[in-house]
Structure 1
């Protein structure tokens, strides 16, 4: 047994005993509404500067059910979608992640061609454009409080806006599983000293939110906090183990958990010494 594995095995009882009994989902994501009426350009800096332990940016919408998380007054509100100088539709963090998606009839290119998209937090093909929304003359996007329909607006117009927060941290550095564990635990919040970081555990209800982050990774698989130790599969934060598909006695080299971009959303296992990106989360 490698020294690093032996030391982790010795720490296992401490890790589990210090965790909250019956720990379930650790993933947090929500939207918050800011009632100040400002141009689109000012909303981005406000959302990003309001971060504490969470990643914060202008709102990205991943799926229709996210609309139920958006509490708005009867008005339009800015979201993170805009058209950049290359005449592409993009999301506000300006990352170079693109998707070619066909527009439905009446949507911003009016069926003329496929546009290229990118998102501020995670990747999504979500779109819910208002009828006859052509977007030929306006470069920023709002969402309506009634119907949650998207519409293009002049970026200088003044609207309230929606920000999004989550507590997941995707680290785009290639490390072994143990190196990833140590890296997460060495992270700290510049705002709250009691915040701690850990390799993420994943419950079934977390899959959609977690996979949005995994798809941003530079590697096809991303480390999670699953480890086979002392004859058992465990989450290193002591979270509930609810998966029944994991082998009861895996090969020695297949003892660590990953989340795959092309997987089913369930955690998979692989060689702990391989190097890949990893996913941490923050908690009190």
Structure 2
């Protein structure tokens, strides 16, 4: 049995778990080639299904009622990119000098720095647990087996998002790893890309897959192995049913005032988006890149009477991602009320803007 050591962290409260769901999945029980399935989904919905995390995978599996392979939106390319196993965007890298130097595809941490390694090598590893924080597993496994262990017993292999988290992880490992040997973290690279150009790095391959991750192969979920994925030739060799997704969030590329944007979303969709968790912030970061303005309206409003910020959905501002100097309770309400927007570039933090500014905006569909 693996030996585990826990390290509690201060966790960000999730104000509304429903806000973590970005997409609605639609199972289409017609057999098509991958490209034809892609065209169908783009015409009827948003695109072939993208999966960001295990919660998405569970929702997708609920929609499927056959045991055969079912196309999803993942397909092979000729370009490999680095990803986090958790699906978080790669915002920070801490490579040792001259790394990564080889064609290996998984990362280990040694003495606070990252090194590329063969995914089939065996090392101890660090998981992340939503309620317990960091978990050191003192058992040597391959990267894929370590990933499976973390997902089955905790949340996922550890993700490092900034220098502070890197330093915390280094201290955590040094206190528990007396041998000083390398330790797997959740960083990996592969040549797979989602049909909708999402940055999602979530992968759920069954053992030994993918077999040939190149531009001729596409991914399918197989219900008889709990929805794990296999790769198939995308061409006429295979025709499978498929899953489409419909985005929960949509960027409207019209330049409207905040009040006009609110009215547009409520008339044509559901509402301006509320961002109540770090997970939802990642969803916003994923779609805001489509905007044509430097900032994009959120459903965030300042009350001059009460001196507080609030979401138009009626929820209080629990999770916050303000840029420095923004989001204070002492906003200047003259000559107009202030509303909240997310920057479309940089770190996509929130900023306070006069409600009369004309910006793109994000509506939610569900």
- For Structure 1 versus Structure 2, the TM-score category normalised by the shorter chain is 0.5 to 0.7
Q: Post-superposition shift, 1:262?
A: 6.5
1:69 and 2:69 aligned: no
Q: 1:32 to 1:114 in 2, by over 3 A?
A: closer
Q: Which moved more, 1:129-138 or 1:60-69?
A: 129-138
Q: State the Cα deviation string for residues 151-207 of structure 1 (Å, max 9, x = none).
A: 1423221112111123322112334323423443453xxxxxxxx543222322633
Give 1:113-262 correspondences, 5 Å limit. Answer: 117=193, 119-120=195-196, 122-129=198-205, 130-131=208-209, 133-136=211-214, 138-145=216-223, 146=225, 148-156=228-236, 157-185=238-266, 187=268, 196-204=269-277, 206-231=280-305, 232-237=308-313, 239-243=314-318, 246-252=327-333, 255-260=338-343
Q: Whose strand fraction is larger, Structure 1's or Structure 2's?
A: 2
Q: Post-superposition shift, 1:60?
A: 1.2
1:59 and 2:49 aligned: yes
Residues 76 and 214 in structure 2, CA contact (< 8 A), matched pair in contact too: no
Question: What TM-score does the superposition give when structure 1 sets the normalisation length?
Answer: 0.62
Residues 140 and 155 in structure 1, CA contact (< 8 A), matched pair in contact too: no
Q: Post-superposition shift, 1:63?
A: 2.9
Separation in 2 of the partners of 1:28 and 1:125?
15
Residues 123 and 212 in structure 1, CA contact (< 8 A), matched pair in contact too: yes
Q: Post-superposition shift, 1:59?
A: 0.4
Residues 105 and 190 in structure 2, CA contact (< 8 A), matched pair in contact too: no
Separation in 2 of the partners of 1:274 and 1:103?
48
Separation in 2 of the partners of 1:169 and 1:186?
14
Q: Which moved more, 1:155-164 or 1:273-282?
A: 273-282
Q: 1:270 to 1:103 in 2, by over 3 A?
A: farther
Q: State the Cα deviation string for residues 33-65 of structure 1 (Å, max 9, x = none).
A: 3333222233234334544xxxx3210122344
Instruction: Give the root-mean-square deviation of aligned CA atoms.
Output: 4.1
Separation in 2 of the partners of 1:103 and 1:152?
23
Q: 1:229 to 1:136 in 2, by over 3 A?
A: closer
Question: What TM-score does the superposition give when structure 2 sets the normalisation length?
Answer: 0.50
Aligned length: 231
Q: 1:244 to 1:135 in 2, by over 3 A?
A: closer
Q: 1:171 to 1:114 in 2, by over 3 A?
A: same
**Which residue does the alignment assign to 2:164?**
none
Q: Post-superposition shift, 1:268?
A: 4.3
Residues 88 and 117 in structure 1, CA contact (< 8 A), matched pair in contact too: no
Task: Name stretches of at least 5 consecutive residues in structure 1 with no aligned partner.
Answer: 1-22, 90-98, 108-112, 188-195
Q: State the Cα deviation string for residues 73-124 of structure 1 (Å, max 9, x = none).
A: 433211123468xx679xxxxxxxxx9xx983799xxxxx985846417432
Residues 251 and 363 in structure 2, CA contact (< 8 A), matched pair in contact too: yes
Instruction: Work out which of the two has the higher radius of gyration on C-alpha atoms and give 1 or 2.
Output: 2
Separation in 2 of the partners of 1:225 and 1:43?
34
Residues 144 and 150 in structure 1, CA contact (< 8 A), matched pair in contact too: yes
Secondary structure at 1:61 match in 2:
coil
